[in-house]
Amino acid sequence: MTRTVAPTTSATVAVTGDLDLAEVAFCSSGGLSVLLDAITEAHARGIPCAVIATQRAVVRPIRLLHLDRVLPLHSDRADAEAWLSLVARLR
């Protein structure tokens, strides 16, 4: 699934189960909005998602805004894949 970020940009977010943000060093409010839109669309389509984030600049705003309640944060791909596997078994 591909999500268009805004009508004025060609940026897209692909949602395939995990969103790897481990290399992202900065996340603005716009980035958080795109992330929430992608997760919301994935949930609407029945696609479970896991967010891989290790950088403080990404993790901190997500936690401060309590978005980690709806954005499952994981420290690495193995953890995210284990969580996604568990979710798949529970369905």
Q: For residues 44 and 85, give the distance between their C-alpha atoms in angstroms, rounded to a whole number.
A: 19
CATH number of the domain enclosing 30? 3.30.750.24
Residue type, 60: R
5-27, pLDDT tens digit by residue?
333 333 444 445 788 999 999 99
For the chain, report the end-to-end CA distance as a whole number of angstroms: 20
Would 6 be classed as within a structural domain? no
Q: Helix and strand tally (H, E) in the chain?
A: 3, 5
pTM of the full predicted structure? 0.74
Q: Which residues span the domain enclosing 63?
A: 16-90
Q: Tokens representing 33?
A: 């909005």
Contact 87, 53 (CB under 8 A): no
26-61, pLDDT tens digit by residue?
999 999 999 999 888 888 998 888 999 999 999 999
